[in-house]
């Protein structure tokens, strides 16, 4: 069983599962706007960088990176409404609707071709933003995310094949007790696992369930050739030396249709790389933004 599929199985077995500090030069700003599915906060000045967290996570997951790059960049922090204590919004068409709202906000605020950094579900959202809204993304960094979750179940998996498992997980999340500990393979530190549990427990179960199903059944592999001309960096976690070869193969196969991808494996990390190996994420982001 692959590492990330083990995460899904652990979530099912468990029966469920702050805003933080701070592409185009812009005036000084520190403002937030709540839309239907997301809330967007813009902080600082300089070239714009959009930071998108993953399932159940707040922008606080990017705190260290934000502190590192915030002096020289305008940070656009995306919060999915219903994640990590933020009041919930509509559950229908959650991820595509959130991506459309982000694209419209960027256009309305004249943010042209920002750098976009997304973790997990946020990485999927970044891919959707870049491929479905041409011109909305100048460069893209994807952190521990695949263009289709079902790849973890085998080369022949389809969205329809993985949907029953994800629907079962949704039911367990919305009806079961709140989690008391993080699922396996999320973080290799006690502090990281504690944060993840706190964020998940503060999230709206219906929003988490819908996001899980949409995330797991979305396949953007056919759209990856549209990333031609957009610099793409893919960071992925390598928890130990024994997993290095199979993880390398998985990610290179997943992104083979995307031209010119830069792959950055991060050793001794679980899924939340920015919590486990923040210095590696900082270094990769700084190289990505040059």
- Average pLDDT, integer, range 20-35: 60
Structure tokens given for 262: 């830069």
Residue 83 has pLDDT above 70, yes or no: yes
Place of tokens 């403002």: 31
- Average pLDDT, integer, range 87-107: 97
- Average pLDDT, integer, range 97-111: 98
Buried b (16+ CB within 10 A) or exposed e, 128-157: bbbbebeebbbbbbbbbbbbbbbbbbeeee
Residue 127 has pLDDT above 50, yes or no: yes
pTM reported for the whole predicted model: 0.91
Tens digits of per-residue pLDDT, 145-178?
999 999 988 888 999 999 999 999 999 999 988 7
Higher-pLDDT residue of 150, 130 = 130
Q: What is the dihedral of CA 120, 121, 122, 125, to 10 degrees?
A: 130
Angle at which helices 205-217 and 94-108 cross, to 10°: 90
Q: What percent of the chain has pLDDT over 90?
A: 82
Residue 94: band (very low, low, confident or very high) from pLDDT cuts 50, 70, 90: very high
Tens digits of per-residue pLDDT, 224-255?
999 999 999 999 999 999 989 999 999 999 99
Mean pLDDT for all residues in the chain: 90
Residue 2 has pLDDT above 80, yes or no: no
- Average pLDDT, integer, range 74-89: 97
Residue 30 has pLDDT above 80, yes or no: no
Higher-pLDDT residue of 196, 4 = 196
Residue 73 has pLDDT above 90, yes or no: yes
Higher-pLDDT residue of 287, 7 = 287
Q: What φ, ψ does residue 141 adopt, rounded to 5°?
A: -115, 125
Pick one of 3.40.50.1820, 3.40.50.12780, 3.30.300.100, 3.30.470.30 as the CATH number of 3-289: 3.40.50.1820
pLDDT of residue 29: 59
Contact yes or no for 233/194 (Cβ under 8 A): no
Structure tokens given for 193: 């696992």
- Average pLDDT, integer, range 65-77: 97
pLDDT of residue 183: 82
């Amino acid at each position: 069983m692959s590492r990330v599929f083990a995460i899904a199985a652990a979530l099912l077995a468990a029966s469920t599962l702050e805003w933080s500090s701070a592409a185009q030069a812009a005036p000084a700003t520190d403002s937030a706007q709540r839309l239907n599915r997301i809330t967007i906060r813009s902080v600082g000045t300089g070239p714009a960088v959009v930071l998108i967290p993953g399932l159940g996570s707040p922008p606080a997951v990017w705190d260290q990176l934000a502190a590192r790059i915030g002096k020289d960049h305008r940070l656009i922090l995306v919060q999915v409404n219903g994640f990590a204590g933020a009041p919930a919004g509509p559950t229908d068409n959650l991820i595509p609707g959130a991506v459309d709202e982000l694209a419209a906000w960027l256009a309305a605020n004249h943010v042209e071709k920002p750098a976009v950094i997304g973790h997990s579900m946020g990485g999927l959202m970044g891919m959707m933003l870049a491929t479905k809204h041409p011109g909305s993304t100048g460069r893209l960094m994807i952190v521990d995310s695949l263009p289709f979750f079902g790849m973890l179940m085998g080369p022949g998996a389809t969205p329809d094949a993985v949907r029953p498992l994800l629907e079962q997980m949704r039911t367990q999340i919305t009806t079961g007790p709140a989690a008391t500990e993080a699922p396996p393979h999320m973080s290799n530190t006690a502090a990281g696992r504690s944060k993840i549990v706190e964020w998940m427990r503060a999230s709206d179960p219906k929003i988490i369930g819908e996001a899980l199903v949409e995330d797991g059944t979305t396949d953007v592999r056919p759209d990856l050739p549209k990333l031609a001309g957009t610099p793409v960096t893919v960071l992925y976690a390598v928890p130990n030396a024994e997993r290095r070869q199979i993880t390398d193969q998985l990610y290179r196969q997943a992104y083979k249709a995307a031209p010119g991808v830069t792959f950055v494996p991060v050793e001794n990390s679980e899924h939340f790389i920015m919590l486990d190996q923040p210095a590696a994420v900082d270094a990769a982001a700084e190289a990505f933004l040059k």
